[in-house]
């Protein structure tokens, strides 16, 4: 899609893009300006005014391409968090292999903290805001696939319990690092595409949890308890196949015409920065100061200044959610439908309800219910008040505020699930709308970090509640 006519001028040289010329033409002109025969002082970068024409998100060339973009991002959203679900949900499997260990807790803690530390390094310790999407996406998915094959296959090696434990913990740490590479790039990748891609990614993330919950429901209903090993192994290998499909989906995404447009725009932006750097270096040398550092990259501070409030919303939403899900919600008994306690169906139904409402919330991002980036704090803070209500239901305190009623519990879990999907995802959309296109890589990666920070903080709060408040 050719940009409107634009030009840049410095001294007696110009870089001009006329109407009808393509983005490739602009790249070629810029590369010509960087030829070794030119002196740095004669380099003519494309001006910020000209690059502003590239800030508009490209649009799909057809309905079919738009359809593909949506479902490919749904697939990516489903797959990149599936390994976490696969490692943490089969509690019965871990109990079977390690009866004297709380392996589900060890796996969750190892994954979350390793992932957060690695994500911090990728987002904040990296000096550049530019992201090599293909390297991170392909490497991340391949790492996940490898672990989801190796970890369940260790069962057939008949290892000593300690050796098997160390293998599983090592695999969990490895997949956490691989997932961090995906975390640091997947939201930023969606920000390069139209709004529907961002919504599709969030729907996919919600479906990932829902698929895990539904799968556990199906296996519980269809398979006897004696087959816990078989059902869990099927779950692991299904996750491996899903991740492999996600990798193929990403590769398919990269060959779409709109993806080629996006890649060309990224080339223009990067080469314009290089042009400006050569120019400033030349000017610095002429002044005898040893050269300038060139045009500054998008800084963490500049993005935080713009959207730090939204990142706090993202962190708080997922802190509240993980404070009660899955640990506290799974511990709530049925008060009226007591038969569901004996069959252990009640916690599964509550967790599934949360996941269903989470997907519903993510699917309704086109409906903002009057919320803006200023008012998004209202539902964020309101849903946080639901955490102590669930604690009081569990402990039996303040029955007027938190009655021990199955209907009340269903209502609270429904609201928590819906706002987790809608409020959390809408805050990420507001981040995209508040930054420039050149800032989207940095902003997207930071959104992923604060989301994961909220998950880790919430899980830690949930552990404290279970240990010292609920008992």
196 and 250 co-located in one domain: yes
Lowest mean pLDDT among 139-153, 272-286, 301-315: 272-286
177 and 309 co-located in one domain: no
445 and 466 co-located in one domain: yes
Q: What are phi and psi of 232, to 5 degrees?
A: -70, -40
pLDDT in tens, 257-274: 988 888 776 666 655 555
pLDDT in tens, 319-374: 999 998 887 888 888 898 887 887 778 888 898 899 899 999 999 999 999 999 99
Q: What global pTM score does this model have?
A: 0.76
Residue 285 included in any domain: no
103 with 167: CB under 8 angstroms?
A: no
220 and 116 co-located in one domain: yes
Token pair, residue 466, equals: 């279970």
443 with 303: CB under 8 angstroms?
A: yes
Residue 290 included in any domain: no
Structural domain including 200 reads: 61-280
Residue 147 included in any domain: yes
- Rounded CA separation 140/250 (Å): 12
142 and 175 co-located in one domain: yes
H/E run at residue 12 = none
227 and 335 co-located in one domain: no
Residue 435 included in any domain: yes
Burial class (CB in 10 A: 0-12, 13-18, 19+), 100: exposed
- Rounded CA separation 246/71 (Å): 11
Longest Cα separation, the chain:
85
- Residue 414 sits in a domain whose CATH number is 1.20.1250.20
- Rounded CA separation 334/341 (Å): 6
Averaged over 182-197, what is the pLDDT? 90
49 and 71 co-located in one domain: no
pLDDT at residue 226, as a whole number = 72
Model confidence band, residue 124 (pLDDT cutoffs 50, 70, 90): confident
Q: Pick from 280, 312, 336: which residue ends a domain?
A: 280
pLDDT in tens, 163-178: 999 999 999 999 999 9
Domain count within the chain: 3
243 with 141: CB under 8 angstroms?
A: yes
Q: Pick from 250, 280, 310: which residue ends a domain?
A: 280
44 and 68 co-located in one domain: no
Residue 287 included in any domain: no
């Amino acid at each position: 899609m050719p940009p409107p006519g634009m030009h840049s001028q410095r001294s007696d040289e110009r870089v001009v893009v006329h109407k009808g010329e393509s983005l490739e033409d602009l790249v070629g002109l810029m590369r010509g300006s960087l030829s070794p025969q030119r002196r740095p002082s004669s380099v003519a970068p494309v001006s910020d005014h000209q690059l502003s024409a590239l800030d508009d998100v490209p649009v799909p060339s057809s309905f079919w391409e738009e359809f593909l973009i949506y479902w490919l991002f749904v697939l990516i959203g489903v797959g990149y968090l599936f390994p976490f679900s696969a490692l943490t949900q089969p509690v019965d499997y871990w109990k079977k292999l390690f009866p004297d260990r709380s392996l589900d807790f060890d796996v969750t803690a190892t994954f979350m903290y390793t992932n957060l530390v690695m994500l911090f390094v990728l987002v904040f310790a990296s000096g550049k805001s530019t992201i090599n999407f293909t390297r991170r996406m392909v490497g991340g998915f391949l790492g996940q696939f490898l672990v989801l094959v190796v970890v369940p296959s260790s069962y057939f090696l008949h290892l000593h319990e300690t050796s098997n434990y160390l293998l599983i913990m090592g695999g969990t740490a490895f997949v956490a690092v691989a997932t961090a590479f995906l975390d640091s790039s997947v939201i930023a990748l969606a920000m390069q595409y139209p709004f529907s891609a961002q919504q599709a990614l969030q729907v996919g993330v919600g479906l990932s949890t829902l698929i895990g919950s539904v799968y556990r429901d199906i296996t519980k209903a269809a398979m006897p308890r004696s087959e816990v090993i078989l059902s869990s192994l099927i779950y692991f290998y299904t996750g491996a196949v899903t991740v492999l499909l996600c990798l193929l989906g990403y590769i398919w995404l990269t060959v779409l015409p709109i993806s080629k447009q996006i890649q060309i725009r990224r080339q223009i932006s990067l080469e314009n920065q290089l042009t400006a750097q050569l120019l400033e270096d030349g000017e610095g040398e002429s002044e005898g100061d040893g050269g300038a550092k060139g045009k500054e990259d998008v800084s963490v501070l500049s993005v935080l200044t713009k959207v730090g409030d939204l990142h706090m919303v993202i962190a708080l939403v997922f802190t509240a959610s993980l404070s009660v899900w899955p640990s506290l919600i799974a511990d709530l008994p049925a008060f009226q439908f007591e038969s569901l306690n004996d069959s252990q169906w009640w916690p599964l139904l509550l967790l599934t309800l949360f996941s269903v409402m989470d997907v519903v919330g993510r699917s309704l991002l086109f409906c903002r219910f009057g919320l803006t980036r200023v008012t998004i704090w209202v539902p964020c803070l309101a849903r946080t008040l639901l955490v102590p209500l669930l604690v009081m239901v569990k402990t039996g305190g303040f029955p007027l505020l938190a009655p021990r009623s199955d209907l009340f519990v269903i209502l609270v879990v429904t609201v928590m699930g819906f706002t987790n999907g809608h409020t959390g995802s809408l805050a990420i959309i507001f981040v995209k709308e508040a930054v420039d296109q050149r800032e989207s890589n940095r902003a997207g990666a930071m959104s992923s970090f604060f989301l994961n920070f909220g998950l880790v903080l919430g899980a830690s709060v949930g552990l404290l509640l279970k240990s010292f408040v609920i008992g």
